[in-house]
Amino acid sequence: MFSRQPNDYLCPFCDWLSGNETEYKQNSDIVFQNDKVTAFISPKWWANNPGHVIVIPNRHVENLYDITDEELSEVYRIVKRVAIAIRSSYENCSGTSTRQHNEPSGNQDVWHFHTHVFPRYEDDKLYQNHDTKNFVEPRERKVYADLLKAYFRKPAGDK
Ligand SMILES: [Zn+2]
């Protein structure tokens, strides 16, 4: 519904999940994965919110209008777990925010449904910083991926 994806679109998320790593999408970025969803450290960071996570359904679906209720439910079940993992693991993190975009007017730029989960800090100006996001190297992303992977490995009673 309200599709904006070009007919010949090569989806970067599907291309990665089918096995093609790039400097933007490395398997070491993945902090959680099951048969329905994948959560990974974003390759682009806003100035004051390093290490934010993107959660996607594994099946290609363009946007919020088309995702099934079951997929949406599973994506947000993991969004919740990722938010708690970020809040528990990132130094001085004192809040979290989620953002999800549809169509160009809604700032969508990858045509595969995704939800951002941000660590928040006092006075971090996340919403004023949309144009400050920059690509970060895989080794910088790995620091945050390792924190979240360690969190997800803990037994339930230790979280
Ligand atoms: Zn896709």
pLDDT of residue 158: 81
Q: What does the mean pLDDT of the chain come to?
A: 95
pLDDT of residue 16: 97
pLDDT of residue 130: 77
Task: Flag whether pLDDT at 132 surpasses 90.
Answer: no
Report the C-alpha gap between 140 and 51 in whole angstroms. Answer: 9
Only one residue has tokens 């989806």, namely 11
Those residues with Cβ within 8 angstroms of residue 86's Cβ, 6 or more apart along the chain or in another chain: 51, 52, 53, 93, 96, 117, 118, 119, 148
Among 35, 81, 77, 38, residue whose Cα is nearest residue 56: 38
Higher pLDDT, 60 or 132: 60
Only one residue has tokens 């969190």, namely 151
Q: Are 87 and 119 in contact (CB under 8 A)?
A: yes
Per-residue pLDDT tens over the stretch 46-62? 999 999 999 999 999 99
Q: How far is the CA of 99 from the centre of ligand 1 (A)?
A: 18
Among 23, 96, 20, 91, residue whose Cα is nearest residue 55: 96
pLDDT band at 159 (very low <50, low <70, confident <90, very high): confident
Average of pLDDT values for 32-51?
96
pLDDT of residue 152: 95
Work out the percent of the chain whose per-residue pLDDT is above 90.
91
Report residue 32: phi and psi, to 5°: -155, 140
Q: How far is the CA of 72 from the centre of ligand 1 (A)?
A: 15
Work out the percent of the chain whose per-residue pLDDT is above 70.
100
Q: How far is the CA of 109 from the centre of ligand 1 (A)?
A: 12
Per-residue pLDDT tens over the stretch 61-117? 999 999 999 999 999 999 999 999 999 999 999 999 999 999 999 999 999 999 999
Q: How far is the CA of 75 from the centre of ligand 1 (A)?
A: 14
Around Cβ 98, how many Cβ atoms within 10 Å?
16
Q: How far is the CA of 15 from the centre of ligand 1 (A)?
A: 7
